Amino acid sequence: MLQVTPKAAEALKNFLQGEGKTGQALRIVAQGGCCSGTMYGLVFEKEAAPDDVVLAQDGVTIYMDRMSDATLSEAKLDFEMGPQGEAFFIDNPLDQGGHSHEGGCGCSSGGEKGSCGCGSGSCGCNH
């Protein structure tokens, strides 16, 4: 299950209050994956969809579709300083993107096809 750090929960509550969106939830959408890495979308919504997974933690509510919930099952939502200032950050150990050389979503160390079929070089793996 997605973990929300206390710092992220507090920042989310403050943001919602400051924007006059008290009572809304954060929707997290995980798209893509494999060779290109996962892209995350964050939007605010008033209501959950019928099939959403709803996470209530530390006074905040998060909506996710079932696919995003599975992708984020071991992830952590945090709020920290980044290159452009403070921002929400998703640390997802399941998202190996195109950086894996162990066969997860890239090429294995021997150049054999990984789970994306990158052995042919289609993901920049030219072993």
Backbone phi and psi for residue 68, each to the nearest 5 degrees, phi listed first: -65, -40
State both tokens at 89.
């950050």
Q: What is the pLDDT of residue 36?
A: 64
Would residue 123 count as lying in a domain?
no
What is the count of structural domains for the chain? 1
Would residue 124 count as lying in a domain?
no
Identify the bridge partners of residue 43 per DSSP, sorted by sequence position: 27
Task: Please give the residue range of the domain that contains residue 45.
Answer: 3-118
pLDDT tens sequence for the chain (127 residues): 999 999 999 999 999 999 999 889 999 999 876 566 788 899 999 999 999 999 999 999 999 999 999 999 999 999 988 788 889 889 998 876 543 333 333 333 333 333 344 333 334 433 3
Identify the bridge partners of residue 38 per DSSP, sorted by sequence position: 32
Q: Say if residues 125 and 107 touch (Cβ distance below 8 Å).
A: yes
Would residue 127 count as lying in a domain?
no
Q: Say if residues 3 and 75 touch (Cβ distance below 8 Å).
A: yes
Q: Say if residues 9 and 59 touch (Cβ distance below 8 Å).
A: yes
- 93-127 in b/e form (b: 16+ CB < 10 A) is eebbbbebbebbbbbbeeeeebebebbeeebebee
Q: Is the overall model pTM greater than 0.75, yes or no?
A: no
C-alpha span between 91 and 10 (Å, rounded) = 18
> Domain containing 9 — which CATH number?
2.60.300.12
